[in-house]
Structure 1
Amino acid sequence: MMEKVIFFTIIMGFLVTVLLSPIFIPFLRRLKFGQSIREEGPKSHLKKSGTPTMGGIMILLSITITTLIMTNKFAEPTVKTYLLLLVTLGFGLLGFLDDFIKVAMKRNLGLTSKQKLFGQIIISVIFYFVFQQNEFSTVIHIPFTNFSYDLGWTYVFFIIFWLVGFSNAVNLTDGLDGLLSGTAAIAFGAFAVLAWNLSQFEISIFSVAVTGALLGFLVFNAHPAKVFMGDTGSLALGGAIATIAILTKLEIILIIIGGVFVIETLSVILQVISFKTTGKRIFKMSPLHHHYELVGWSEWRVVVTFWAVGLLCAILGIYIEVWM
């Protein structure tokens, strides 16, 4: 029975996005909500200027519609279902404001870093209070060991760090056509498997809904992209996957399954540290996907390679959790 639910959920998530896109993309074009390309980025990206952005709205609509319909029909919605939607839509709204300022108000930087961080922290704290009221576990388990530790009330700081950290990490990965859509679909698919294995079916349905929505979006986002998800999509996806990891108590496994996001973030951190301390850059450009572009790889080759790495990370994460 559950296999059919998963199948219909991914199909529904896919179809909702695919059916919305031909309506929504021309609408974004008419509003002139086109992507602004940073001058300091790779010169090959300048031709992408004007491509409709804020396509993350389609992803969020698909996730919400699919999750609510399939959960109400095949599993009882729980607090966890609404927490997932709270964080996803909350971070999505924050990303929408950032995108809107960029494209409608013509301020290329969007929200300031402090404004964005403040919004992320507020959403994380709200999540923690609901989490605490429902007496969910604050224990952290370390893979490969029998060690676990209860963080108690200090778990709020972990939640803030995890949600803010991964929303920004996923956001950094959104730099090439189809890169984030593909890697995120793989990562959410892995968590769907793990949530199902833990009999947390409402979380599995949500994860599959995200996977289906991303695969549908990939139809229009693969190179050459007809639409970008913008921060509306990337911040929401980062918050969502961190929330899934927290609710399934697979927080540390997220580092493995989300290995591509972690590597991309580390490349930025190392680049900044190196330049500030030595005046030299480790990479030609960060995040890491831009480095490979500048050494001569085609955009499609970079994207497919990162998808492959993401798939290996997902398989490793499932293997560690299920069979080790």
Structure 2
Amino acid sequence: MIYLTMFVCFITSILITPLVKKLAFKIGATDKPNKRKVHERVMPRLGGLAIYLSFLIGFFILQPQHLIPEEPNAALAILIGSTIIIITGILDDIMELSAKVKLGGQLAAALVVVIFGGIQVNTINLPFGGELDFGFLEIPITILWIVGITNAINLIDGLDGLAAGVSSIALITISGMAMMMGYGFVAAIGAIVFASTLGFLFYNFHPAKIFMGDTGALFLGFIISVLSLLGFKNVTMISLIIPVIILGVPISDTFFAIIRRIVHKQPISAPDKSHLHHCLLKLGYTHRQTVIIIYAIAAFFALAAVIFSQAKIWGAFTLVAVLLILIEVFAEKIGLVGKNNTPLLKIMRGLKYVKDNR
């Protein structure tokens, strides 16, 4: 049933997207070129609505709510939260809402999931024994995770097919791992959103005929954040790191964007053209090559998450350490923080110099 539903979602997304494109032009949900953007012509941006509608059809066909008896309100909360996010995204795609209003919509959606749905990070079993109970912080931490990941996906939506492709890789990884761990609800939701996104990607890959807009980026970020909570909550600290690794591309890009703005004494919310995809474009890669490179990086993180999930404690710690070093070296190589902010590369050059002059 799941595979048939995925096929229906995929075909529905392909059929609905051209209609959404016409609607976007009709209601003025378009993206105009400017100095910060890569495209050079007016583009329709409402594509996330096609993903959402396809997801809804898949949800009502599959009716996955019976797969999560321990969280009876979770399915309805996800539907309500998703609808709030979609409305926020549509309004932003039409009239460009202020950052505060967009954040308000995200917080409202997160609160529905956390309060009504009961989806919260409560405790973590520590690797060397004992348990960490978040207590009164469990709600703020859960909301911070949902809002943070939602915005991280939104931040990487800068090239044709980029956010859709990276999200698809994250969704199929979360869904596959959830299936192995026996979380049927997470696997089902992840699968139908993946299929819906893949159908939209048919029109969104370079050269794009339509953008997903904030409607899509916020929806995908919201769904991914909630599914990762459902699939990996109330487990060990090692397991809690799994979704962080799966989402390595958007999380690291967001992290370095914050560091970059702090270093350059800019507001954290200030837009710029120094994100991962911008840096790769500056290095001479084409639009399509840049997207494929980032897909490959996202797939590498997904594979690392699978390996991490099977590793022993010390193996897991070693893998994380190696990943962090690789991320830092790569970030410094392409200039994610700035051309002159390369502390690790400087240390490596210094060690090489010492070695060569012994």
- Shared fold (TM-score greater than 0.5)? yes
Residue 202 of structure 1 corresponds to which residue in structure 2?
185
Structure 1 unaligned spans of 5+ = 102-109, 278-283
Counterpart amino acid of residue 163 in structure 2 = L
Counterpart amino acid of residue 52 in structure 2 = L
The 2-side partners of 1:153 and 1:191 are apart by 28
Residue 319 of structure 2 corresponds to which residue in structure 1?
none
**CA drift at 1:186:** 0.6
2:2 equivalent among 1, 6, 31: 6
**CA drift at 1:34:** 2.0
- Per-residue CA distance 1:199-253 (angstroms, 9 max, x = gap): 2212211000111011101100000000000001101111111111111216432
C-alpha change, 1:94 and 1:192, in structure 2 (3 Å) is same
Residue 291 of structure 2 corresponds to which residue in structure 1?
303
The 2-side partners of 1:276 and 1:72 are apart by 47
1:121 equivalent among 107, 130, 148: 107
**CA drift at 1:17:** 0.1
Structure 2 unaligned spans of 5+ = 234-238, 267-271, 313-358
1:100 equivalent to 2:94? Answer yes
- State the secondary structure of the residue aligned to 2:132: strand
Q: Is the 8 A contact 1:268 1:288 kept in 2?
A: no
Counterpart amino acid of residue 84 in structure 1 = I
C-alpha change, 1:127 and 1:164, in structure 2 (3 Å) is same
Paired residue total: 299
- State the secondary structure of the residue aligned to 1:252: helix
Q: TM-score, normalising length from structure 1?
A: 0.84
Give the structure, 1 or 2, with the largest relative contact order (CA under 8 Å, sep 6 or more). 1
- Per-residue CA distance 1:237-293 (angstroms, 9 max, x = gap): 11111111111216432210000111221231122112118xxxxxx9322211111
- Per-residue CA distance 1:77-105 (angstroms, 9 max, x = gap): 8433223323322222221221121xxxx
Q: Is the 8 A contact 1:71 1:202 kept in 2?
A: no
Q: Is the 8 A contact 2:21 2:46 kept in 1?
A: no
The 1-side partners of 2:216 and 2:131 are apart by 33
1:294 equivalent to 2:288? Answer no
2:228 equivalent among 245, 248, 255: 245
The 2-side partners of 1:218 and 1:141 are apart by 39
C-alpha change, 1:256 and 1:212, in structure 2 (3 Å) is same
Residue 319 of structure 1 corresponds to which residue in structure 2?
307
The 2-side partners of 1:145 and 1:14 are apart by 44
The 2-side partners of 1:147 and 1:228 are apart by 47
Q: Is the 8 A contact 2:121 2:141 kept in 1?
A: no
The 1-side partners of 2:64 and 2:159 are apart by 36
Q: TM-score, normalising length from structure 2?
A: 0.77
- Per-residue CA distance 1:173-194 (angstroms, 9 max, x = gap): 1110011111100100011012
Residue 317 of structure 2 corresponds to which residue in structure 1?
none
Moved more, 118-127 or 235-244: 118-127
Which runs of structure 1 show a deviation greater than 4 angstroms over 4 or more consecutive aligned residues? 72-78, 144-148
C-alpha RMSD of the superposition:
2.4
Identical positions, percent:
29
The 2-side partners of 1:270 and 1:74 are apart by 43
